[in-house]
Amino acid sequence: MSDLWIPITGMICIAAVVLTNLVLSARHKGQVHQTLQQHLSNGGQLSVELLQQMGATPSGWKTDLRKGLILIALGLACLAAGAVVNNASLGMVFGVFPLFTGLAFCIAARIN
């Protein structure tokens, strides 16, 4: 069996964790949106306190910075895994996207 299966499996697992987080986050946001729609259709008032209780407030700069640093670390880990198995191009294929996405989150945190 090829030596490349170990880093490929690791990168697939990391991608599965990130995708699972994205799917669960989208599902939570959809449920919050549906609950707010029902509340408003029943004649309820929309207030800042209600949004904060439901977790519908926009993410702050600290959250963006934390996400950015995690994604940068993930990208660097993929690049390092590619270097360890003497296949840097494989590490770049899986590491460049989270690296640049993490940089974008850090820039967004800096702007805010």
CA distance readout (Å), 8 to 27, 33, 84, 98? 28, 37, 13, 16
Q: What is the mean pLDDT of the chain?
A: 85
pLDDT value of position 105: 92
How far apart CA 15 and CA 4 sit, in angstroms, is 17
**Per-residue tokens: 48:** 């800042």
- Tell me the domain boundaries of the chain: 5-111
pLDDT value of position 56: 66
Name the pTM for this structure: 0.59
